[in-house]
Amino acid sequence: MMNPKLFDLEGIDLSWCPGCGDYAILDALKKALAELGHTPLDVVVVSGIGQAAKTPHYMKAHFFNGLHGRALANATAIKASNPGLDALMARWS
């Protein structure tokens, strides 16, 4: 298993409220990626808009923010155009 800290970004301010569940989601996502043996270069995190959709901004990986409700279509297109990347959706947004 790789170290989840590999996905940490240094010196960033998170805009979530204290106690927000998104902190746990971000932590779980980084741990899962590390357990799967991924590196930041292997992954693209896809999200929509809003506070929860900022998850990819707070981790070291490729990311794409699309329109609200379009994360699945965008992740599918990214995976189809670059099968070597693992396209993950940050949240259904």
Side chain identity at residue 16, one-letter code? W
Domain ranges, residue 74: 39-93
Label residue 25 exposed, middle or buried (CB < 10 Å: 0-12, 13-18, 19+).
middle
User: pTM above 0.85?
Assistant: no
Q: Quick: pLDDT tens for 26-83.
A: 999 999 999 999 999 989 998 888 777 888 899 999 999 888 878 888 888 998 999 8
pLDDT, mean of residues 2-28: 90
Does any domain span residue 8? Answer: no
- Total domains, the chain: 1
Distances (CA, A) of 49 to 53, 54, 57, 63, 87: 5, 7, 12, 13, 17
In whole angstroms, what is the distance from residue 66 CA to residue 31 CA? 24
Does any domain span residue 68? Answer: yes
